[in-house]
Chains A and B, each alone.
Chain A
Amino acid sequence: MSKIVNGVLTAVGKGRGGVKVKHNKNTAEMAVERMPIPAKVVLPMQQHIGAPCVPTVKVGDIVSVGQVIGDTDKFVSAPIHATISGKVTAVGDIKLAHGMMSKAVTIESDGEMRLSEDIKPPVVTNKAELCAAVRASGLVGLGGAGFPTHVKLNFPDDKNVDTLIINAAECEPYITVDYRCCVEDPQDILEGVYSLQKYLGFKQVIIAIEDNKPEAFKILKEIADKDNDSGDVVKLMTLKSKYPQGAEKMMVLSATGRKVPPGKLPADVGCVVMNVASVAFVGRYLKTGKPLISRSITVDGTAIKEPKNIRVPIGTNLQDIIDYCGGFKSEPRKIIFGGPMMGVALCSLDAPLCKQNNALLSFEDSKNITKKERDCIRCGKCVSVCPMSLMPTNIEKFAKIKDVDSLKKSGIMVCMECGSCSFACPSGRPLVQYMRLAKQILREEG
């Protein structure tokens, strides 16, 4: 590759649509605090997209930190590790925070945080070993989706994957853990970037960040500049801050100008997109061998007393997390996992934190949370903000009358449920809900 002056890239392709949301990054300057070890953790066997794990321990077993307690031989999955040391007191079905059921292992702490002997840095010399190591680490996308990372990295060699895109855009309001990761763990990111690049053979690595995070920008720029003399593979790209700039397909478009076709993955156009915290984790894991047992989350929202960024053992009860942040200052009407745009509303706090949850936000009732629902006025806002060029208002109508033919033609399957349409709709239509219904109808039709 010819040596380019290592400036900062600007987006190659420009996505359409999108909305301006209030950032509310209140916790941006709050360093990640470590939350005290809880007395008990509950570890669901389904903390990722794909096949659930099967418990490998039984009631009464003594487990140590980092020991595998759930696994499966299915490919699309990721093992679950004990996040504290202690005794297994229950193995059975529990209700997750958003209401789904999952098998789970409960561990009561012995207070020792004794590390498992299995923890040692993995030996990695090639792609296959790297993928195996990443699977063993239990890593899933830390940005919210929870897709097992090793599946992403294990792309077929004939796909000509040449670009790794590292997503540090964090375009959802409130959440700042990725930003903190950039500021606090640049070394881990650096090591993660170079290992991934080395073993997976990317021709370019593009770190993408929104232009409203100058401090993280400076740090990432240093990382990108480190290889100036050795081929300049790593580049930093700034993006206008706009939602959903961080969505995978949008990232691929901005970084490479390529468009992921409907029903395809970024790998089909030669890209892998990874969240920056996941990259930092890979860097750390290759060094220490410590699997995914805790994670940083942002606790914020209008109802919480002391917003914080905290590092929490996975499986910690949500109520404990809220209590650690001073409890509620007013009665919350809505509590969500993840950001306001794509997060999931919770029905209970008596549930564990899972691997993919990057934020716990609680909100009081306000007009920016709910809007009076009225009839569609065909203003076209939902259409002009849709990054996928869909017509949400029409799709809503087709879904209501189960018009399968029209739904097929509507392209609904490319909808990424980014929420821009519902956000923008002046009539407060719950469009995303109908987008999901529409997909459901098509799936049932086969």
Chain B
Amino acid sequence: MAKKLTVSASPHARSNETTTGIMLDVLIALLPAVVMSVVYFGTRALVLTVVTTATAVLAEFISRKVMKRDNTIGDLSAAVTGVILAMNFPADLPLWIAAIGSIVAIVVVKQMFGGIGQNFVNPAITARIILMVSFPTAMALSEWVLPFENTWSADALTSATPMAELAKAAGGDLSAANLPSMMDMLLGKHGGSMGEVCSLALIIGGLYLIIRKVISPVIPLTFIGTVAVFTLIAGGGNVEYMVYQLLGGGLMLGAIFMATDYTTSPINFKGKIIFGIGCGLITSVIRIFGSLPEGVSFSIILMNILVPQIEKFTVAKPFGSVKEKKEKEAKA
């Protein structure tokens, strides 16, 4: 007879889905962006990605060890943070700064708050912002290297990003701005961080995540949609201006890969809508009225902080509860 019967609470069946599987899907979704970053910025982009990823995983391993908690590098979430972080960096960022970014993201933002699922702001974005403040020259937006240049040499050519140029196009008048073609914007032949330039690669990754049901399309759609509406208005109805706004800067990267971070975005459908619109709103305000050409990181981090409040307001009523009924009747 069986001696070692496991007695545990129901259910006695589990889906095939695992945390590791989900994170692996995110890594797969990031692959097009990583490949395009290497295409545009050369092997240095790859080296930088490897450095941030390896540092992130190592930081996770060591911090868990020091805190005497179980080893979690197997869930691949640290690797995801590492890759996303690299995508946020200019290709010529000194490697040691990149490594600091990973350590900040994993140790300070994630593990000091209890690890996966506990941090209240997105680790990659927070690290990016901290680096921008600490190393403004190395991280500065206008100094993104230009694609196709030899990024190993110290004096790599730099050019203004489309976002900086767009800032000159007040009211949607693109004549003063020196912008790349629309096709180049989509494919990524313009200045920007390693991972944000190729919108097409990011969109492909996003579609993969949606098809695999890893993320819900709500946040990316409301985020990007809100920015579209506001920049269209600000541009006086100039569609071209709006599309440049959508394809430029970190919008795609942020909306698809960072605003959808499980830990720091609302769980409920309604909450996701509010979150997405909020991100879009803040991004638009910063881009249009602020002195900063780039607002995605700040908007996400600000909305991250508001998530607990959003969640409180959007809690679904349990099945059949009176309030739910009243709402239905009121609508009918």
Contacts and interface: CB of A to CB of B under 8 A. Distances in A.
Interface of A: 19, 21-22, 98-99, 173, 249, 259-262, 264, 319, 328, 331-336, 340-349, 361-363, 367-372, 374-381, 383, 387-391, 393, 409-411, 414, 417, 419, 422-428, 430, 432-433, 436
A231 B324 CA distance: 35
A369 B13 contact: yes
Q: How large is the interface on B (under 10, 10 to 19, 20 to 34, 35 or more residues)?
A: 35 or more
Given A372-B18, A375-B72, A390-B318, A423 B7 contact: no
A292 B207 CA distance: 56
Nearest to A422: B11
A414 B267 contact: no
Interface string B247-271: 0000000000000001100011000
Nearest to A264: B320
Contact of B2 (A328, A340, A388, A424): A328
B68 interface: no
6 contacts: A262-B319, A369-B14, A374-B116, A377-B77, A377-B262, A426-B21
A173 to B, nearest CB: 7
Contacts of A419: 10-11, 13
Contact of B262 (A380, A417, A433): A380
Given A261-B322, A391-B267, A414-B319, A345 B12 contact: yes
Nearest to A416: B319
A333 B6 contact: yes
Given A328-B2, A380-B262, A367 B319 contact: no
Q: State the majority secondary structure of interface residues on A.
A: loop
B233 to A, nearest CB: 32
A98 to B, nearest CB: 8
Q: Which of A264, A344, A374 has the largest number of chain B CB atoms within 10 A?
A: A374
Interface of B: 1-2, 4-19, 21-22, 72, 75, 77, 115-118, 216, 262-263, 267-268, 315-322, 324-325
Contact of A340 (B11, B118, B320): B11
A103 to B, nearest CB: 23
Given A249-B320, A411-B317, A414-B319, A341 B5 contact: no
Given A260-B320, A376-B117, A342 B10 contact: yes
A426 B17 contact: yes
A8 B268 CA distance: 35
A362 B115 CA distance: 37
A367 B14 contact: yes
Contacts of B19: 374, 377, 426-427
Given A262-B321, A390-B318, 12 more contacts: A260-B320, A261-B325, A262-B319, A341-B13, A345-B8, A346-B7, A368-B16, A369-B14, A370-B6, A426-B22, A427-B19, A432-B10
Contacts of A264: 320
A72 B271 CA distance: 52
- State the 5 A-B residue pairs at the shortest beta-carbon distance, nearest first: A411-B318, A419-B11, A259-B320, A340-B13, A433-B9
Contacts of B16: 367-368
B115 to A, nearest CB: 6
Given A341-B10, A369-B12, A381 B17 contact: yes
Contacts of A367: 14, 16
A342 B14 contact: no
B15 A19 contact: yes
A436 B5 contact: no
A432 B9 contact: yes
A336 B8 CA distance: 10
Given A377-B117, A427-B19, A432 B7 contact: no
A322 to B, nearest CB: 9
- Most chain-A CB neighbours within 10 Å: which of B7, B12, B216, B322? B12
Q: Which of B6, B11, B72, B216 has the most CB of A within 10 A?
A: B11
B255 to A, nearest CB: 18
Nearest to B318: A411
A377 B11 contact: no
